[in-house]
Structure 1
Amino acid sequence: MKFAMIGAGAMGLRYGILLQEAGNDVTFIDTWQPHIDKIREQGGVYVSRDHQDRHLTPIKLETPESYKGDPDILIFFTKQMQLAGFLKRCEHFFNDRQYAFTCMNGMGHIEKLQQYFADDKIIAGTALIATVLNGPGDVDFMGKAGAGKMNMANLTEKPDEMTHQLFDELKKANMNPTLTTNFRGTLMTKVIFNSVINTLCTLFEIQMGEFGNFPKAYDLGRQLIDEAYDICERAGITLVSTRDEEMHALDINTRIDMPLHYPSMYQDMIHDRPTEVDYINGYIAQLGREHNYEAKTHIFLTNLVHLAEYHRANQKKAREAEKAKIANQSKAKTTTTTNAQTA
């Protein structure tokens, strides 16, 4: 199959490279210039697995403006706040035959995709797969080959031939897909999972294993999960796992499957990028308001993440101001010394 990977970040690279290794034609499309420059300079992407076996993997890379292909499926792996811009820049190569597939974190992306693709051409899912972008042109797949799993569903909840072809290619790529016919429930179950792990690990700057081994991890997770499940029941959303199953998944993923992983929200925070908390805990809180339920814990955590972002932004400004002050003092000292020598 022919794929265009819209967004060549950590997850975009993992999905795209594994699909490429499974025999598919994959072109990556990105807009981050340092990333683009590095990949072109070195002739591909350096890929590691759990910090080991670092090797160069050649890939095809384009910008939205330079790509002229006609893929069967476009796979979207951008940040929620970047998606609208990517769609606008890429729309010149969209057509009615193509399918759009995504496993992005959070909620809010489906409505944006619907502006460009018909409902029967949209497939979305969730991924319990850990990947880290170490820097431009350098990605680390966390976990052994075949680790992790994913769910996928059609927006129409009616799988067609292309859906099954995509499923087969993802299976060949060792992504361990499960096909469901519960679209919103599939996506919301992962949002709830992330509302615990991503948010709490980010706030305390810890790996998933450190959270999972904390004696009160169950209590913290259960409070957030119960609140979210109560809201989904009011909204008429049937989730693909029970509350107890979701707690079990949290335990297994944090302590056993991915204990050394820092979630993507943490990676955004430490690199001073906006987080997706409004599309995760914030989305749950907004859904609660729509159904007369005040999700106090999710609201509180959303505001705490924004406070952390605000604090880091102020620290960055202070560091830049101090750096500029030192540079100006050094410049003034050099000028004074030069004038004295001239005199």
Structure 2
Amino acid sequence: MKYTVLGAGAMGLRYGILLQEAGFEVDFVDIWDKQIAAVKQQNGVFVSRDGANKHLVPINISSPEDYQGDPDVWIVFTKQMQLADALKRSQHLFNDKQYVVTAMNGMGHIEKLNQYFDSNKVISGTAMIATVLNGPGDVDFMGASGAGSMNVVNQNEKPDEMTKKIVEEFSKANLNPKLTTNFQGTLMAKVILNSVCNTLCTMFGIKMGEFIQAPTAEKLSKQLIDEAFDVCERAGITLLNTREQEWQAIKYASTTAMPLHFPSMYQDMDKNRPTEVDYINGYIYDLGLKYHYEASTHDFLRNLVHLAEFSKDFDPKSLL
């Protein structure tokens, strides 16, 4: 099948390049002009693995306005706050036969995708795959070849033949997909993991492997996990894991799967970009309020991240 990746950032490049290397036709569409310019100037993307073996991989990239392809499947990997604009600019490229797959961080993207795609053709998921965008046209795949995994789930929770074909082709690209039939539970499991690892690592500028060694890591994690599970129980969401299994997943991700990884939220903070904390910890807190429950630790962390964003941009001269 033919794929087009909307959002050629760290994860979009990893998915697209791995599919391309597996023999599938892949195009890339992006709304970041610097990325498009850099890739076109150097005739591809520089790809490293764990900071080594940097090499140029040719790819086809366009803006939404310049793209003329007609893929079978869109793979969407923008940031949450950029998605609405990216979809609006690309809407002339969408049609009724196309499927869309996304494994974006946080929550809020499904509602936006449903404005352009039939919900029966929306496939979401969660990616336990670490990737770093060093700059325009320069990406680093973290972990050994074949490392990482993902969960895949249909919005209608009814896998069809097209879904199974996508899972088969993702498997050939070493993305290690696992098909589930619990839509909300699948997505929220990753949101909860990110609400711990992404947010806490960002606040203190540490890698996941450093965080998990802290004497307070388990207590902090379980406090956030318990609040998130309390919210989900009130919302009628059955999660894939138990509370203890969620903690074990955080331990595994931090000690084994991605110990050297700075989460994407930290990467955004480090490069003075807005973070997705409102779509992760903020989403959990806001969902809880709908069911008369206050996940106060998640709200506290969300506000701390926003304070950190503000302090990075604060001009001390304004006090004079």
TM range (shorter): over 0.9
Q: Normalising to structure 1: TM-score of the pair? A: 0.91
Please state if 1:288 is matched with 2:288: yes
CA distance in 2, matches of 1:201, 1:124: 25
- What is the match of residue 140 of structure 1? 140
Q: How many Å apart are 1:200 and its aligned residue?
A: 0.3
Please state if 1:302 is matched with 2:302: yes
- What is the match of residue 276 of structure 1? 276
CA distance in 2, matches of 1:168, 1:105: 23
In 2 relative to 1, CA 137–318 (structure 1 residues): closer, same or farther, beyond 3 Å?
Answer: farther
Structure 1 residues 196-245: Cα deviation after superposition (integer angstroms, max 9, x where no partner): 00000000011111101112211110000011001101111001111111
- What is the match of residue 248 of structure 1? 248
Q: How many Å apart are 1:114 and its aligned residue?
A: 0.5
Q: Secondary structure, in 3 states, of the residue corresponding to 1:146?
A: coil
Please state if 1:87 is matched with 2:87: yes
What amino acid maps onto 2:198 in structure 1?
N
Structure 1 residues 253-294: Cα deviation after superposition (integer angstroms, max 9, x where no partner): 111221110000000001111100000000000010001111
Q: How many Å apart are 1:31 and its aligned residue?
A: 1.7
Q: How many Å apart are 1:318 and its aligned residue?
A: 5.2
Please state if 1:194 is matched with 2:194: yes
What amino acid maps onto 1:209 in structure 2?
G
Q: How many Å apart are 1:3 and its aligned residue?
A: 0.5
- What is the match of residue 108 of structure 1? 108
Q: How many Å apart are 1:63 and its aligned residue?
A: 0.7
Q: How many Å apart are 1:195 and its aligned residue?
A: 0.1
> What 5-or-longer segments of structure 2 have no aligned partner?
none
**How is 1:25-104 mapped onto 2 (pairs within 5 angstroms)?**
25-104=25-104
- What is the match of residue 331 of structure 1? none
Q: How many Å apart are 1:32 and its aligned residue?
A: 1.3
CA distance in 2, matches of 1:30, 1:196: 29
Q: Secondary structure, in 3 states, of the residue corresponding to 2:26?
A: strand
- What is the match of residue 261 of structure 1? 261
- What is the match of residue 333 of structure 1? none
- What is the match of residue 327 of structure 1? none
- What is the match of residue 174 of structure 1? 174
Please state if 1:312 is matched with 2:318: no
What amino acid maps onto 1:179 in structure 2?
L
Q: Secondary structure, in 3 states, of the residue corresponding to 2:153?
A: strand
CA distance in 1, matches of 2:51, 2:83: 29
Normalized per residue, the structure richer in helix is: 1
CA distance in 1, matches of 2:140, 2:67: 26
Q: Secondary structure, in 3 states, of the residue corresponding to 1:178?
A: strand
CA distance in 1, matches of 2:240, 2:76: 23
What amino acid maps onto 1:81 in structure 2?
M
CA distance in 2, matches of 1:139, 1:219: 34
Q: How many Å apart are 1:18 and its aligned residue?
A: 0.2
> What 5-or-longer segments of structure 1 have no aligned partner?
322-343
- What is the match of residue 340 of structure 1? none
Q: Secondary structure, in 3 states, of the residue corresponding to 2:174?
A: coil
* Alpha-carbon RMSD: 1.0
CA distance in 2, matches of 1:318, 1:300: 25
Q: Secondary structure, in 3 states, of the residue corresponding to 2:259?
A: coil
- What is the match of residue 332 of structure 1? none
What amino acid maps onto 1:160 in structure 2?
D
What amino acid maps onto 1:3 in structure 2?
Y
CA distance in 1, matches of 2:39, 2:87: 23
CA distance in 2, matches of 1:253, 1:279: 21
Runs ≥4 in structure 1, deviation > 3 angstroms?
none
Q: Secondary structure, in 3 states, of the residue corresponding to 1:26?
A: strand
- What is the match of residue 126 of structure 2? 126
Of 184-193 and 249-258, more deviation after overlay is shown by 249-258
Q: Secondary structure, in 3 states, of the residue corresponding to 1:27?
A: strand
Q: How many Å apart are 1:140 and its aligned residue?
A: 0.2
CA distance in 2, matches of 1:27, 1:166: 16
Q: How many Å apart are 1:33 and its aligned residue?
A: 1.5
CA distance in 1, matches of 2:87, 2:7: 11
Q: How many Å apart are 1:73 and its aligned residue?
A: 0.4
CA distance in 2, matches of 1:269, 1:125: 24
Q: Secondary structure, in 3 states, of the residue corresponding to 1:56?
A: strand
What amino acid maps onto 1:49 in structure 2?
R
Identity %: 63
CA distance in 2, matches of 1:170, 1:239: 24
- What is the match of residue 234 of structure 2? 234
Q: Secondary structure, in 3 states, of the residue corresponding to 1:86?
A: helix
